[in-house]
Amino acid sequence: MDPSRGVWTATADVDLVLRLAASGFDWVALDAQHGPVDRAALHALARALHGAPVPFLVRVPGVDPAWIGAALDAGALAAVVPSVTGTAQAEVVARAARYAPAGERSWGPFPPMWGSLAPEPATADAAQQCWVMVETAGALTDVDDIAALAGVDGLFVGPLDLALSLGVPVDALLDDTTPGNPLSRVVEAGRRHGVLVGAFAGTPGNVARLRAHGIGCLAVTTDAALLALGAAAVLAAVDPDQQD
């Protein structure tokens, strides 16, 4: 996963998501926080993505052990957990992603519902991951302790919320190269504790800025952006003189 180029989806359309999973990106992220993925949609999407060429991630709606379990039950490579405010919440999150004795995940994988086998608990614990989003000032303050927690496999920066929480413009956050800048603190915590560091980029320009910080696992674009870019490219190709 590092480096990797993922696509973030803001829809719950099974056919669209399946096509995105076969379009060259390394992973697909389903969004149950800001997108329309509810539990019923999660079942339909997971069933369709079972056996897809690339893994999927699920951003759960918040610090919610039930949703973290559901994301992993669906077969996500990782539950991506937003709005974590610090070490105490990260501990809850990490325990929700692993079966006992390491954690408190409840048994209930989805694949038997469509006739496939459930992974053994130990296999699931080894293969499935928990990524904590670093997008609050509190999570940034605690980032080293969060990265050190057993069961935290990744730190995933949400630049939009992190900038809001720090009270700085997103551009200032992304371009900050002063010693001890926020993104370098996340990267260093990840390196120190051997956990993945990723981020939401969304545009090619932001991909370059995040890579310059040493962040290689990136959500490079979204389904909505791909549609807009594709529409603009087609219209420009058929009528090059009508661009505004």
Q: Which residues bind ligand 3PY (CB under 6 A)?
A: 82, 135, 158-161, 200
Contact between 135 and Mg ion by CB under 5 A: the answer reads yes
Contact between 31 and Mg ion by CB under 5 A: the answer reads no
Query: Which residue among the candidates 34, 43, 50, 213 is catalytic per the annotation?
Result: 34
Structure tokens that stand for 104 in this block: 């408190």
Beta strands in the chain (DSSP E): 4-9, 27-31, 56-59, 78-81, 129-134, 154-157, 196-200, 217-222
The 81-120 contact track toward Mg ion, x by CB under 5 A, reads ----------------------------------------
Q: Looking at beta carbons only, is 129 or 221 nearer to ligand 3PY?
A: 221
Q: Please, what is the minimum distance in Å from the beta carbon of residue 131 to ligand 3PY?
A: 12
Q: Which does 200 bind (CB under 5 to 8 A by kind): ligand 3PY, Mg ion, none?
A: ligand 3PY
**What is the residue whose two structure tokens read 């919320």?**
161
CA dihedral in degrees (116, 92, 129, 11; nearest 10)? 70
Contact region with Mg ion (CB under 5 A), list: 90-98, 111-119, 139-147, 161-169? 161-169
Q: Which helix (H) or strand (E) holds 184?
A: helix 182-193
Q: Which does 6 bind (CB under 5 to 8 A by kind): Mg ion, ligand 3PY, none?
A: none
Give the N- to C-terminal CA distance of the chain in Å, as an integer: 39
34 is catalytic: yes
Contact between 223 and Mg ion by CB under 5 A: the answer reads no
Contact between 158 and Mg ion by CB under 5 A: the answer reads yes
The closest alpha carbon to 98, from 61, 116, 123, belongs to: 123
Contact region with Mg ion (CB under 5 A), list: 108-116, 131-139, 163-171, 235-243? 131-139
Structure tokens that stand for 192 in this block: 């120190």
Q: Please, what is the minimum distance in Å from the beta carbon of residue 186 to Mg ion?
A: 14
Neighbours of 243 (CB within 10 A): 8
The closest alpha carbon to 6, from 199, 238, 242, belongs to: 199
d(CA 91, CA 7): 28
Q: Please, what is the minimum distance in Å from the beta carbon of residue 50 to Mg ion?
A: 28
Residues designated catalytic: 34
Please give the residue ranges that form the binding site for Mg ion (CB under 5 A). Answer: 135, 158, 161
